Amino acid sequence: MKEILNADQMMRTIKRMTHEIIEKHLDLKEVVLLGVSQKGVPLAQLLKENIYQFTEIDVPVFPLDIKPYRDDLETSIPKVDQGFQVKDKVVILVDDVLFTGRSARAALDAINFHGRPKLISLAIFIDRGHREIPIRADFVGKNIPTSKNEKVIVDFSKMGVYID
């Protein structure tokens, strides 16, 4: 595996993303961060902590299970209420890597199951290209061009980004 971002680079990138979110969403009291389970949740938590550090506004974070909304799973998983409300909220959907766009599409379906938000933005730590559907992130940490065979690993526990 080749390291492409170290801990310092990751934290600088997350701080920049946080400032972009603050600049775009002037009323942060309307904002809800939804981290795609599992890998989007740590990034959403870091964005929340930075937003609080910079503005003293405590933005709620919720995990978003997208499995019942995936179009590539053979088994049927029931759709259930995940314990949050997004009606008339500004939702920032957070995930680690944007690749084909299929996870983001499933996440949009999951969000709409929970109500109709005022606005949905997409925050992605690594955008690696290769879209299969027309999805574009509003907040991007880094654009990392890759081949379709490579795998991008964002490790928030070790604070590193790797290509395998």
Range of the domain at 128: 2-163
DSSP conformation letters of 80-91: ---S---TT-EE
The one-letter amino acid code at 99 reads F
Q: To the nearest whole number, what is the mean pLDDT of the chain?
A: 94
Task: Look at the block and give the residue holding tokens 């690993």.
Answer: 153
Percent of the chain residues topping a pLDDT of 70:
99
- For residue 32, what pLDDT is reported? 97
Mean pLDDT of 126-154: 95
**CA separation for the pair 88, 116 (Å, rounded):** 6
Torsion of CA 58, 81, 108, 142, to 10 degrees: 40
Q: Which two tokens stand for residue 109?
A: 């379906």
- CATH number for the domain that contains residue 33: 3.40.50.2020
* Residue of 109, 110, 116 lying closest to 90 (CA atoms): 116
* pLDDT above 90 (res 29): yes
* pLDDT above 90 (res 130): yes
For the chain, how are helix, strand and coil distributed in percent, rounded to 5? Answer: 30, 25, 40
* pLDDT above 80 (res 45): yes
* Total structural domains within the chain: 1
Mean pLDDT of 77-91: 88
